[in-house]
Chains A and B, each alone.
Chain A
């Protein structure tokens, strides 16, 4: 026990000898939570659109005005032909093209059905999908407007039929995030990201630094036990991680009024388990690397995989099966899910215990591995 105390003290001294570390622990979480949640939005607005109007009739003008007035679209240009509009799209000046045929208003009055050409830049699939949906909504609105204006032109019996169509009212309720605010969804994710970066990178560089400096030899010749050594490495990161969490939770509350509905204790408790597993991973990397350059590549590699396959940005449920299997052993994925449930769904610790147990298992496996892979030579 006494050995452990001395070792932990040594680790703390070593850590805080580097002036960048206290700054990293205190300022970095505040900075990240202040800036980056604002960048997140899948709401597509300000889609630039070109309207190619071959009809130049009153109806086509009305439709163009309607598109222009919509908050989703910005009317970029009204070129004379499709080719010119396509050139605009190639240059990135416009995202969508609407082509109104020359017979547009004649079709509406005579045959009662007409059609429009819509072309959308779908490199960004979300923009492609939502852009064409928004246009369809506007066009549907426009056609029901026309219907009520022109209803007198059709025979009375079918008019009757048209007005008496049975209808299903669809009432949509957005639970847990009624304003559909993306920041609320991403902030818990950013907290996990911060923990992963800080409590993953630092341990990964730790042992290999001692190897490069030669101080590991000094430890190796002492009677310090392997698990003492690893435990002494873990405890400081544990405390660092808790400080990061306390700062993050406070910052999220002060800046965005976001408070864990399921209780702050549940948040801190799950963080503790997570920090153990991620630091364990860092120590394993450190044990296997011979230079800091290797360690830093490896740790960044694993962190990127943890994050990008962990459901922070894109849903795990949309990933292929093998990627979902990776997520099943990914501590990042478990903690992100847990944090979001506690923050938004108001889940309490009993609702998330399955996630916590998975985290505990991952932590035990990784740290056991860290102890085994540390070889006293």
Chain B
């Protein structure tokens, strides 16, 4: 035990001595959570809109005026020809082009129907779709007013309530995701690189020759990193609460427990990586490609897992961040307790034990 403490102490000194690295490890996650927490936003805003209206009349100018004044749209002007319109769309200067038919007002009054065309730049399907639906809603509202028939019979109204996130803030969804991503990257690179570095330099063999059992030794090596990562987590949590206004509705203790389990998992993964490669470059490459894109794409951080094809949903179950993000959202935002997230916790613990087993077997083999 005394040896163990001495060893942990040595590792701590190693890390604290290198103040520049320490600053980077603690500073970067803080900057990242601030940048992403405020900037990442799914909302569709500033829709650049232009009109093509060869023969303007009262109705078309009214509709155009309404769309211009709507805060979602940024008015780009009237186009003179359809060709100009096409060009502006191609050059990505427009998100939505609105084309009115000739004799719009006349047709609407006389034949009871007039047409308007919405040409959406749908290279981004989400943006295209939503731009068009905002414009449709405004035009539809205008039509309702023109009909002067305020009361439509047999109407069923819906009263909508948004649960857990009434203001529909994007940060509620993204903050847990960013936590999962940043911790995964930091912890994996931190452990894998520092251990591979010792391997590269040969100092690892010296350590392994010490009387300490190698399992204990590796455990001791990860403890300082565990402390640093937990400090990272606490800072991130405080920033999201005080600066970004994301609530912490559940128990802080449970949330910390989730974080500690996840941090152990990612540190263990770093250890596993360190047994698979023998160069620092490769440790970084390996950690980066296995920690970054899978977490970004398959954890539900940005894209909901439920919408993915079956095969990808299956792959996503082995991405640890998926379970972490799920659990954090449930505890932090929905205020749930242990009974709801026990499955996620068990999976995370199971993954940690599995990776630990692989690491121990791999290390033993190398020594024999």
Contact = CB atoms under 8 A, between A and B. Distances in A.
A143 B125 CA distance: 30
Interface residues of A, number: 113
A90 B336 contact: yes
A123 B125 contact: no
A180 B125 contact: yes
Interface string B189-202: 11001100100000
B125 A182 contact: yes
A108 B190 CA distance: 64
Interface stretch (A216-224, A270-278, A317-325): A317-325
B219 interface: no
Interface string B19-33: 011001100100110
A175 B45 contact: no
A34 B239 CA distance: 37
Nearest to A319: B39
B122 A39 contact: no
A165 B122 contact: no
Contacts of B170: 125
B147 A112 contact: no
A173 B152 CA distance: 30
Interface in B141-181: 142-143, 146-147, 149, 152-166, 168-170, 172-173, 181
Contacts of A20: 277, 279, 281-282, 285-286
Contact of B162 (A122, A168, A346): A122
Interface in A308-359: 308-309, 313-315, 317-320, 323, 326, 337, 340-341, 344-347, 351
Contacts of B206: none
Interface stretch (B76-84, B260-268, B302-310, B356-364): B302-310
Given A116-B159, A308-B36, A347-B91, A169 B114 contact: yes
Give the interface size class of chain B.
Answer: 35 or more
Given A125-B169, A169-B113, A291-B21, A317 B308 contact: no
B351 interface: no
Nearest to A302: B28
Given A173-B120, A305-B35, A143 B143 contact: no
Contact of B90 (A116, A205, A351): A351
Interface stretch (A132-140, A228-236, A238-246, A247-255): A132-140
Interface stretch (B50-58, B209-217, B290-298): B290-298
B102 to A, nearest CB: 14
B24 A298 contact: yes
A45 B40 contact: no
Nearest to A119: B161
B115 A169 contact: yes
A197 B159 contact: no
B21 A293 contact: yes
B158 A132 contact: yes
A337 B139 contact: no
B203 interface: no
Interface stretch (B2-10, B127-135, B251-259): B127-135
Nearest to B135: A170
B244 interface: no
A309 B174 CA distance: 13
Contacts of A296: 189, 193, 280, 284, 287-288
Given A44-B304, A136-B158, A174-B120, A292 B293 contact: no
B129 to A, nearest CB: 6
A364 interface: no
Nearest to A312: B296
A345 B109 contact: no
Nearest to A133: B133
A46 B158 contact: no
A78 interface: no
B288 A197 contact: yes
B90 A128 contact: no
Contacts of B91: 341, 345, 347, 351
B24 A150 contact: no
Contacts of A205: 280-281, 284
B152 A162 contact: yes
A340 to B, nearest CB: 6
B27 to A, nearest CB: 9
Contact of B143 (A108, A167, A176): A167
A43 B307 contact: yes
Given A168-B108, A347-B91, A347-B92, A174 B128 contact: yes
B154 A147 contact: yes
A103 interface: no
22 contacts: A24-B285, A38-B308, A42-B303, A42-B307, A90-B336, A113-B157, A115-B159, A117-B161, A119-B160, A120-B161, A123-B333, A124-B304, A146-B156, A154-B153, A165-B147, A167-B112, A172-B120, A297-B189, A300-B185, A309-B36, A318-B44, A347-B90
Interface of B: 18, 20-21, 24-25, 28, 31-32, 35-36, 38-46, 89-92, 108-109, 112-129, 132, 136, 139-140, 142-143, 146-147, 149, 152-166, 168-170, 172-173, 181-182, 185-186, 189-190, 193-194, 197, 277, 279-282, 284-289, 292-293, 296-298, 302-304, 306-309, 311-312, 315-316, 329-330, 333-334, 336, 340
10 smallest CB-CB distances across A and B, nearest first, come from A174-B122, A323-B39, A180-B125, A122-B162, A344-B123, A122-B165, A296-B284, A115-B157, A125-B168, A169-B115
Given A112-B153, A170-B136, 19 more contacts: A91-B336, A91-B340, A113-B154, A116-B156, A118-B160, A119-B161, A119-B163, A120-B162, A120-B163, A124-B173, A166-B114, A182-B125, A293-B21, A296-B284, A298-B28, A314-B42, A314-B302, A320-B38, A345-B121
